[in-house]
Amino acid sequence: MPEEVRDRVIRCIAEAQHLDPETVTIDSTFEELGIDSLDGINILFALETEFEIDIPDDAAQNIRTVREMVEGVERLLAEKVDSRPQEQA
Amino acid sequence: MEPRRVVITGLGAISAIGDNVAELTAALRRGACGIRPIQLVDRSKLRFSNGAEVAGYDPVRYFDPKEASLLDRFAQFAVIAAREAVAQAGLEAGSPLFRRAGIVTGSCVGGQTTEDEGFVDLYLRGRPRINPLIIPKTMANAGASRISLEYGIKGPVYTVSTACSSSSHAIGQAFWMVRSGIIDLAITGGSEAMFSMGILKAWEAMRVVSPDTCRPFSRDRNGLILGEAGAMMVLETLESARSRGAPILAEVLGFGMSSDAHHLTQPSVEGPALAMQAALGDAGLAPEAIGYVNAHGTGTVANDPTETAALYSVFGPRASKLPVSSTKSMHGHTLGAAGALEAVASIAAAREGFLPPTVNFTEPDPACDLDVVPNVSRPGNPEFLMSNSFAFGGLNAVLVFRVL
């Protein structure tokens, strides 16, 4: 996976959770990081702002790890690129 | 001295399923759903598109234009519901009973719709000044204050804001003030009107609003639907109601509150159970007496099974047989008005001899093993009713009524 997206996701999580980014890894689970449902929506908001994407409720529901979150963001970024020509048309 | 008995002599309500209590009752009986595409806000900018608005609302039907311009929509709904309740109670401005009367209302959002519009002028349009009426229109007590002005009520008048428990807390405090003799009469309830872009976007970000409809206790439930409403009742002593020949609609028997002390937004089992037990204790009733519960029943993934577990902890195995419905499936989640609207709905339905249904119900959820009166109202004459309100912030308020 591209380095950059991973690092930006980790930064968003760390900032939202007031954690040292060093303590957040790609293999961290939300449980390990103490992320509950309210923290989760706050992180989704941070990611939507950081990447200028819209994360649908159903896409977000079952995410439990940093890796799943990075993969989800990458998917949405790819869709955003795909849809760009259609928007212009 | 025996505690004073407190009765309800007037009810009023305006919501997505009726402009008055008669219309509300008829809608509850036929299981009419007031959830429709949102008209008040550009829904193309939202991830959800449905709400429970008061359709075709025209303030000029109720207020002269100057009066309407001084009141946010939420305060207008408070006044409209209060007028209906006061008229049914056979009271009018200057009634001698108003000398020792109070008003307690509940609202979560207050007049933030007005504030939102004002801030658009300031931040988006770059205007150097905003309307001075924003302050008196936004204050959460605007409805209570307007009712006080309209009827000349000079006793305790205030507003409780405890998110989705606001109006249950309000009714409970009004009830206790009348019961204890602090006042002889109260107008109490709540109102809410949250359809502005800023507020809806905030709810969108909470990710608890359904993309389609509200299906409380159904396996495929996927969130709440926001609704606007005003609902009020007139409380007075049984003695007063009898002496003046007022209609005695129901008795307020008990009020219980609790705090989860658990989490800002995640529900708990213990907190709601404590509030239900406190309300039963205040009413002097055993759980077996309750014949119908109007659930908090928001239709979110988290609330409904947690409330089910709380009901089982209070009512035991009988919880599976006890009719428990969520009228939010019809009038939406009216936030600070919810407790009042649901109390009015429960009492009005029981007096007409039926149990209001939980509509939009498609499929039972084993985690919500309750008799939710699915989809169709049912004949029933419960004597003792319970109405549950559980708020973000973990604040719970439960009311118990006796239908007379």
A37 touches chain B (CB under 8 A): yes
Give pLDDT tens digits for B317-364. 999 999 999 999 999 999 999 999 999 999 999 999 999 999 999 999
Let me know: does B196 contact B219? Beta carbons within 8 Å: no
Instruction: Determine which one of B164, B169, B214, B331 is catalytic.
Output: B164
B206 touches chain A (CB under 8 A): yes
Q: Which of A41, A56, A60 comes nearest B206 by C-beta?
A: A41
How close does chain B come to A22, measured CA to CA in Å? 27
Give the whole-angstrom CA distance, residue A89 versus residue B306: 49
Q: Which amino acid is at B87?
A: A
ipTM of this complex: 0.81
SS3 B188: strand
Concatenating the DSSP letter of every residue in B328-348 gives HHHH-B-GGGHHHHHHHHHHH
Confidence of residue A88 (pLDDT cuts 50, 70, 90): very low
Mean pLDDT score across all residues of chain B? 97
**Closest of B133, B152, B10 to residue B66, by C-alpha:** B133
B265 touches chain A (CB under 8 A): yes
Is 60 exceeded by the pLDDT of residue A86?
Answer: no
A34 touches chain B (CB under 8 A): no
Percent of chain B with pLDDT over 70: 100
pLDDT value of position A60: 85
Question: Cβ separation of A60 and B207 shorter than 8 Å?
Answer: yes
Interface test with B, best of A57, A62, A76 (most B CBs within 10 A): A57
Confidence of residue B43 (pLDDT cuts 50, 70, 90): very high
Judged by CB atoms within 8 Å, which residues 4-33 of A form the interface with B? Answer: none
pLDDT value of position B203: 97
Confidence of residue A85 (pLDDT cuts 50, 70, 90): low
Is 70 exceeded by the pLDDT of residue B367?
Answer: yes
Phi and psi, residue B308, nearest 5°: -60, -45
How close does chain A come to B76, measured CA to CA in Å? 33
Structure tokens at B33: 């759903």
Confidence of residue A82 (pLDDT cuts 50, 70, 90): confident
Q: Which residue of A has its CA nearest to B267?
A: A37
B60 touches chain A (CB under 8 A): no
- How far the first Cα of chain B sits from its last, in Å, is 23
Residues 6+ apart with CB under 8 A from B256: B172, B274, B275, B276, B277, B278, B279, B280, B281, B282, B397, B398, B400
Q: Which residue of A has its CA nearest to B266?
A: A37
Report how many Cβ contacts below 8 Å link chain A to chain B: 21
Interface test with A, best of B207, B266, B306 (most A CBs within 10 A): B207
Angle at B311 between CA B308 and CA B317, to 5 degrees: 100
Give the whole-angstrom CA distance, residue B297 versus residue B292: 14
Concatenating the DSSP letter of every residue in chain A gives --HHHHHHHHHHHHHHHT--GGG--TT-BHHHHT--HHHHHHHHHHHHHHHT----HHHHTT--BHHHHHHHHHHHHHHHHHHHHHHH-
Q: Among this protein's residues, is B333 annotated catalytic? A: yes
Give pLDDT tens digits for B273-321. 999 999 999 999 999 999 999 999 999 999 999 999 999 999 999 999 9
Interface test with B, best of A30, A35, A36, A37 (most B CBs within 10 A): A37
Is 90 exceeded by the pLDDT of residue B1?
Answer: no
Question: Cβ separation of B266 and A38 shorter than 8 Å?
Answer: yes
Question: Cβ separation of B266 and A41 shorter than 8 Å?
Answer: no
Q: What is the pTM of this model?
A: 0.94
Q: Is the dihedral of CA B141, B330, B352, B398 positive or negative?
A: negative
Q: Which residue of A has its CA nearest to B201?
A: A45
Percent of chain B with pLDDT over 90: 98
pLDDT value of position A89: 40
Confidence of residue B149 (pLDDT cuts 50, 70, 90): very high
Instruction: Determine which one of B33, B108, B169, B296 is catalytic.
Output: B296
Helix B73-88, helix B142-151: angle, nearest 10:
40
Q: Which of B47, B211, B265 comes nearest A38 by C-beta?
A: B265
Q: Which residue of B has its CA nearest to A41?
A: B206
A54 touches chain B (CB under 8 A): yes
pLDDT value of position B218: 98
